[in-house]
């Protein structure tokens, strides 16, 4: 129930940003038009955003014939988690990464890059896919997929406003309108960041439980982090709103930009997983 509340809150907050941007562009009329656009995008994102993301990353569907080891691994983990079998995809990208998408567990998909399949051992890959299936189980995938679609819409509308903003004389001072146009995409990103960071910790913990091997996921995160920083993913760079869907932040950058990362620090994630190993050891 709380996940549904978070989803509704997210949709309402980002839809409100459409209204604020619309008001900055064209007063009351612009606000109403933008709110209608935001509401329409909410509905579209609910039904079709997973297909959009998979197509954006040129993901190709695989089965037990085309990728037997990977497909059967996902099937085993889905069974451990008590989930329906999701659709399984592979993305031809050298950066090691993975994500889950879909509006609910019955319409879910998991995707992994060729980079992560070649980098990780089967044991480590199980930890990663268990992490992604935890997102499915917690219904985080609806939140992340909708937020990715709508944050992209906010950015597109803001760029439109920069060049074609309204000239309503009853609006606030033009400088205020400019600030709104600049800050609205940042606000959308902050909404994504706040939700995503807490969600990643929970998915790490759940993934460790489903796979039964917290150390494997910790090892995988360390490997992915080291390789991802030096391996760009052009699709993610072109669509940064999708970064929060990945198990590891796929975007280049560091230092100050890490303050606005949708993912918690890898070292903290690993430390929490290593702590789970110690707890399990003490209980034996």
Residues belonging to the active site: 132
Token pair of 202 as six digits: 């929970």
Helix and strand element counts for the chain (H, E): 9, 4
Q: First vs last Cα of the chain: how many Å apart?
A: 34
- Cα–Cα distance for residue pair 227/252, rounded to 1 Å: 12
As a three-state string, the secondary structure of 60-122 is EEECCCCCHHHHHHHHHHHHHHCCCCCEEEEECCCCCCEEEEECCHHHEEEEEEHHHHHHCCH
Indicate the SS3 state at residue 246.
Answer: strand
233 CB contacts (<8 Å, ≥6 apart)? 93, 95, 97, 113, 250, 251
Give the count of beta carbons closer than 10 Å to the beta carbon of residue 135.
27
Number of alpha carbons in the 13 Å side-chain half-sphere of residue 32: 3
CA distance 284 to 277: 11
CA distance 20 to 8: 18
């Amino acid at each position: 129930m709380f996940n549904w509340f978070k989803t509704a809150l997210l949709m309402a907050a980002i839809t409100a940003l459409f209204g604020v941007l619309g008001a900055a562009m064209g007063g009351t009329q612009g606000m109403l038009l933008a709110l209608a656009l935001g509401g329409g995008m909410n509905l579209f994102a609910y039904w079709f955003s997973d297909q959009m993301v998979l197509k954006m990353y040129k993901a190709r569907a695989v089965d037990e014939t085309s990728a037997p080891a990977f497909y059967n691994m996902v099937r085993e983990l889905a069974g451990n988690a008590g989930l329906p079998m999701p659709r399984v995809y592979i993305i031809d990208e050298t950066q090691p990464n993975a994500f889950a998408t879909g509006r609910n567990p019955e319409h879910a998909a998991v995707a992994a890059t060729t980079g992560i399949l070649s980098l990780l051992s089967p044991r480590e890959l199980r930890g990663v896919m268990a992490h992604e299936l935890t997102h499915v189980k917690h219904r985080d995938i609806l939140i992340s997929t909708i937020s990715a679609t709508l944050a992209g819409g906010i950015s597109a509308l803001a760029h439109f406003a920069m060049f074609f903003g309204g000239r309503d004389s009853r609006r606030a001072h033009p400088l205020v309108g400019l600030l709104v146009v600049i800050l609205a995409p940042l606000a959308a990103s902050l909404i994504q960041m706040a939700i995503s960071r807490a969600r990643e910790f929970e998915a790490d913990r759940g993934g460790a439980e489903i796979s039964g091997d917290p150390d494997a996921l910790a090892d995988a995160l360390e490997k992915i982090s080291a390789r991802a920083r030096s391996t760009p993913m052009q699709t993610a760079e072109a669509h940064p709103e999708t970064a929060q869907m990945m198990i590891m932040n796929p975007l280049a950058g560091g230092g100050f930009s890490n303050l606005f990362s949708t993912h918690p620090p890898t070292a903290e994630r690993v430390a929490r997983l290593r702590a789970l190993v110690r707890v399990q050891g003490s209980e034996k």
